[in-house]
Chain A
C-alpha cells in the first residue's frame, strides 16, 4: 500500500464517493442541506453519543465503509492503562465505530495496535477488548511479533525510505484512525498522525535514529486513514504519552478526513502542559502540512460544532 496503487485507488475511491454523493444530492434535494460537507465535525457529549453524532455529521459511516469491505480501526491501546488515565482511546468510542462499521456491512473489523506494553495486558486494561467482545466480526488484536509486519517503500520519504507495516494494511482496507488526545514528551502532542506509529514494527528507531517529526510526516505519506476520529473525551495534557499525568475533559469527538486538520484542531481544544498552542506550533503537524498532507489552519476550515 501507499505506493502508486494506493494513490490511485484512493483517488478512485474519492471519485466514486463524490459521484455517489452527487447522485444522492441530485436524487433528493432536501438531503443537500442536511449533508453539507464539512472539513471537520466537532461534537461534544458523552463518548457513545458524541461518536455516533460525529459519524452521522461527517456523512455517515457508509460514506467510508461499503458492504463487504474490510475495515481496520486504529485506536490507541498501547499502554496498560485504564481509560481514566487518558493514555488510551476510550473503549466506548472504539466500540461505537466498530459497531457502525459492521452495521454498514463491513465484512470484518480489525482493531489493531502495536502495543508498547505486553499485548494481553493492554487489551485487558484499556477495556477495548471487553467492549468489543459482543460485536461479531470485530477482532481486537495487539500485534507484537515481527512476522505480522511487512516492509513497504516510502516513495516520498525524506528520512524514511521504507517501513514495516502491519500486513493487514497491505490489501487496502478501509483505515479509520481513532487516536486519543494526549501530550507527548517528544512530539508535543500525540494525536492521529503520531498514532500511525502504532501500525509499524520498528517504533524505536523513530526516537533513536531519525528526526521523529520528519519520520512521522514520511509515515503519513504512505499510511492514509480514510477517516480520523479523535477521541478528545479526555485529554492527557501532561505526562503523555503513557501517563500518569493531568487529565482534562474536553468531552469532544472530532472527526474529519484530513488527518492534519483533525490533529490541528485537536491541538487547540485544551492547553497542553498549561499552555495554549496552535497546530502550526506542533512540529510534526507543520511538516506534514508543508508536505501537502493536509490543512493546518483551522480558521480556514469548514467546521460543524454541535452537541450530541
Chain B
C-alpha cells in the first residue's frame, strides 16, 4: 500500500515535470511539489522578507503534518520514494551495520535546518542545497531529462528503418530536441552520493541529513497517529531492526516520535501483531523531544549567521555585471531574485529553447544554480513564457506573452571588428534575417550597407547572438545593459515609459532606403565576384 502511494507520488512528480514545458496549460501547476515544500517556502519568504503567494501552498503540508505526523516522508516525498526504490534495487541484500554515532548524526539535519533558516533570515537563500524537492527537481532537470531524451532518440534512430519500411512517415522523422545543461555531472554526483549513503543505513539521507525532514520532525509529535505497542510484544526487536528511520528506541515499545514517518514497517514485520497506529492525543513525553544539544543549537545559529555574512563578502556579489549575466525575462531585480530563487531548476527544464542554464558563480556564491540565459547556445523564443509559469516562488514572474515580450533582458551589441559585414564585406545578414523585432537594420555607412542594432527595439531575445556565423564568440552579443527588472507592475507600461517598442514595425527598411538616397543602377549588369567589394549605393541582391 505504502509502496503503491509512493510510486504514485513519484509518478505524479515525474508527470508534472514532463508537462513543465512550452504550452503548459495555465490551470496546471506543474511546480506543485515545489510549492508544497514548506522548507522552500519558508526559505523564500524569510529571505525575500515578504509573503510569496505560491509558497502558501506549503501550509497544506504543514497543516497535514500537524494533524497526521511526518507521513510526508514515507508517502509523498518523491525523493524518499526514489531512495526507497533505489535502495531496494542496490542494497536489499546487503547487510548494514548501522551507525554507532546514531544520536549525534541524527542531529545534523536539525543543525542544517537551523543554518538554512538563519541564513534565509539574513537574506541568503541556501536551503536549495539540500532541500529534497529542489534537489530532485535539479537532478531530473540536469540529468534524468537529458538522459531520457537521449535514450528516446536512440530508440527512435534504431527503429527508424522499421518505421520507414512500414511507411510511418511522422514516426520515421520523429526526433526530440536534446537539451544540454552545464551541471549534469555535478548533479549526478550529488544524487549518487545520497543513494550510496544508503549502504551505511537505510534512508541515510532522511534520517540524518534532510532539512525538510528535520522541519517536519518538529511538527510531527503533534500528529494524531502514533505508534503503540501492545502487551503482546515479546521484545524480538524485529521492528527496531527493520525501522528505516531508526525511530524505535532500545525498548521497542517506545518511539522517537520526531523520527517516525509512519511507514508502518514495524507493524508489518511484527510477528505478534503488537504494533498499531491508533489516534492518540498524547504528546509522547520525552520521546517527542528533539535531542539536539544547546551547544549544537548555538553553533548552528552562529554558522547560519556566518554563512549569511560571508555570502555578502565576496567580490562577485556586487559585481553582477562583471559576467554580463542575462537573467530570464520577468526575473525580479537581482538582489530580490537571488533571495527568492530556490534553484529548483524547473525553469531550465521548462525552457523551450534550452537557453536557460545554471549559473556556477557568475552571480556570486549566493547565485549558484540560478538560471541565466546562454544566448550563444540558444535564443529565447518570443512565443514562450513558460519559465515564469513554473517558477514556484515567482522569482521569475509569470507573465502573459505581451508582458513577457516587453520584459527586456538586455540589448544586442554589434562587435564591428568581428562582424563579417563590417570587417570583411561579406553578404551576411543572418542577424537581420532572424531578428523577430526588426531591431537590426542595414544602414548606409560611408557608402556601404552595414547592419546596426536599434537598441530601442531590441529586447535581448538573442536570436542574433545564437545565429551569428562567426566562429567562437558571436559578433553580436546581448549584454545586460538596458534590462528591465520589475518586482511588480507592468512591463508594457515601463517599456512605453522608456520609449521602447518591441513590435513588428513595417517599413523600417524602406525608411532607410528613402532617407539614404539609395539608387539602383539599372544599366550596369555584371557579376560580382566573391571577393569583389560590394558596390556602394546598391541594395544587396539586386544588380
Q: How far is the CB of A245 from chain B (nearest CB, A)?
A: 5
Chain B binder among A16-24, A58-66, A281-289: A281-289
A242 an interface residue at 8 Å Cβ cutoff?
yes
Q: Assess whether B430 is in contact with A213, with CB atoms less than 8 Å apart.
A: no
| Residues of chain A from 122 to 146 with CB closer than 8 A to chain B in the complex | 125, 139, 141, 143-145
Given A118-B353, A139-B170, A239-B506, residue A281 in contact with residue B522 (CB < 8 A): yes
**Separation of A139 and B507 alpha carbons in the complex (Å):** 35
A246 an interface residue at 8 Å Cβ cutoff?
yes
Residues in B whose Cβ lies below 8 Å from that of A212:
427
Q: A121: nearest residue on chain B (CB-CB)?
A: B383
| Residues of chain A from 269 to 290 with CB closer than 8 A to chain B in the complex | 272-275, 277, 280-284, 286-287
**Separation of A147 and B427 alpha carbons in the complex (Å):** 28
**Separation of A287 and B420 alpha carbons in the complex (Å):** 24
Given A141-B169, A239-B438, residue A282 in contact with residue B509 (CB < 8 A): no
Q: Assess whether B170 is in contact with A141, with CB atoms less than 8 Å apart.
A: yes
**Separation of A13 and B527 alpha carbons in the complex (Å):** 34
Choose among B430, B514, B525, B539 the residue that contacts A280 (Cβ–Cβ < 8 A).
Answer: B525
B27 an interface residue at 8 Å Cβ cutoff?
no
Q: Assess whether B509 is in contact with A273, with CB atoms less than 8 Å apart.
A: yes
A238 an interface residue at 8 Å Cβ cutoff?
yes
**Separation of A151 and B432 alpha carbons in the complex (Å):** 29
Residues in B whose Cβ lies below 8 Å from that of A268:
none
Q: Assess whether B173 is in contact with A143, with CB atoms less than 8 Å apart.
A: yes
**Separation of A212 and B22 alpha carbons in the complex (Å):** 35
Given A207-B469, A283-B528, A287-B527, residue A244 in contact with residue B442 (CB < 8 A): no
Q: How far is the CB of A87 from chain B (nearest CB, A)?
A: 10
Q: Assess whether A242 is in contact with B436, with CB atoms less than 8 Å apart.
A: yes
Q: A238: nearest residue on chain B (CB-CB)?
A: B509
Q: Assess whether A213 is in contact with B541, with CB atoms less than 8 Å apart.
A: yes
Residues in A whose Cβ lies below 8 Å from that of B541:
184-189, 213, 282-284
**Separation of A256 and B109 alpha carbons in the complex (Å):** 76
Q: Assess whether A188 is in contact with B510, with CB atoms less than 8 Å apart.
A: no
**Separation of A72 and B462 alpha carbons in the complex (Å):** 33
Residues in A whose Cβ lies below 8 Å from that of B442:
185
A195 an interface residue at 8 Å Cβ cutoff?
no
**Separation of A179 and B6 alpha carbons in the complex (Å):** 54
For B144-186 the 0/1 string (1 means CB < 8 A from A) is: 0000000000000100000000010110010101000000000
Q: Assess whether A238 is in contact with B432, with CB atoms less than 8 Å apart.
A: no
**Separation of A85 and B219 alpha carbons in the complex (Å):** 59
Given A184-B541, A244-B438, A283-B542, residue A117 in contact with residue B173 (CB < 8 A): no
Residues in B whose Cβ lies below 8 Å from that of A116:
433-434
Given A116-B434, A245-B508, A283-B543, residue A275 in contact with residue B520 (CB < 8 A): yes
A contacts with B: majority SS: mixed
Q: Assess whether A208 is in contact with B169, with CB atoms less than 8 Å apart.
A: no
A159 an interface residue at 8 Å Cβ cutoff?
yes
For A88-125 the 0/1 string (1 means CB < 8 A from B) is: 00000000000000000000101000001110110001
**Separation of A98 and B170 alpha carbons in the complex (Å):** 16
Q: How far is the CB of A274 from chain B (nearest CB, A)?
A: 5
Q: Assess whether B543 is in contact with A245, with CB atoms less than 8 Å apart.
A: no
Q: Assess whether A211 is in contact with B173, with CB atoms less than 8 Å apart.
A: no
Q: Assess whether A186 is in contact with B427, with CB atoms less than 8 Å apart.
A: yes
Residues in B whose Cβ lies below 8 Å from that of A145:
175
Q: Assess whether A186 is in contact with B507, with CB atoms less than 8 Å apart.
A: no
Q: A244: nearest residue on chain B (CB-CB)?
A: B504
Choose among A141, A210, A238, A277 the residue that contacts B510 (Cβ–Cβ < 8 A).
Answer: A238
**Separation of A190 and B237 alpha carbons in the complex (Å):** 81
Q: Assess whether B540 is in contact with A185, with CB atoms less than 8 Å apart.
A: yes
Choose among B175, B430, B507, B530 the residue that contacts A245 (Cβ–Cβ < 8 A).
Answer: B507
**Separation of A187 and B436 alpha carbons in the complex (Å):** 19
Q: Assess whether B513 is in contact with A274, with CB atoms less than 8 Å apart.
A: yes
**Separation of A282 and B434 alpha carbons in the complex (Å):** 22
Q: A185: nearest residue on chain B (CB-CB)?
A: B429
Residues in B whose Cβ lies below 8 Å from that of A275:
513, 520
**Separation of A113 and B416 alpha carbons in the complex (Å):** 32
B381 an interface residue at 8 Å Cβ cutoff?
yes
Q: Assess whether A277 is in contact with B507, with CB atoms less than 8 Å apart.
A: no
Choose among B353, B383, B433, B506 the residue that contacts A244 (Cβ–Cβ < 8 A).
Answer: B506
Residues in A whose Cβ lies below 8 Å from that of B426:
207-208
B32 an interface residue at 8 Å Cβ cutoff?
no
**Separation of A80 and B175 alpha carbons in the complex (Å):** 19
Residues in B whose Cβ lies below 8 Å from that of A183:
509
Residues in A whose Cβ lies below 8 Å from that of B435:
242
Q: Assess whether B530 is in contact with A188, with CB atoms less than 8 Å apart.
A: no
**Separation of A183 and B438 alpha carbons in the complex (Å):** 14
B473 an interface residue at 8 Å Cβ cutoff?
no
**Separation of A187 and B169 alpha carbons in the complex (Å):** 34
Residues in B whose Cβ lies below 8 Å from that of A207:
420, 426-430, 469
Q: B514: nearest residue on chain A (CB-CB)?
A: A274
Residues in B whose Cβ lies below 8 Å from that of A245:
438, 506-509
Residues in A whose Cβ lies below 8 Å from that of B508:
238-239, 245
A30 an interface residue at 8 Å Cβ cutoff?
no
Given A139-B169, A283-B542, A286-B525, residue A242 in contact with residue B433 (CB < 8 A): yes
Q: Assess whether B520 is in contact with A185, with CB atoms less than 8 Å apart.
A: no
Q: How far is the CB of B72 from chain A (nearest CB, A)?
A: 37
Residue pairs across A and B with Cβ atoms less than 8 A apart, 28 shown, are A85-B504, A108-B167, A108-B169, A116-B433, A120-B22, A139-B170, A141-B169, A141-B170, A145-B175, A148-B173, A185-B429, A185-B433, A187-B540, A187-B541, A208-B470, A210-B530, A211-B530, A238-B508, A238-B509, A239-B506, A239-B507, A244-B438, A246-B507, A247-B506, A273-B510, A273-B539, A274-B510, A283-B527
Extra pairs beyond A239-B507, A239-B509, A274-B514 (8, CB < 8 Å): A121-B352, A188-B542, A189-B541, A207-B427, A208-B420, A244-B506, A273-B509, A281-B525
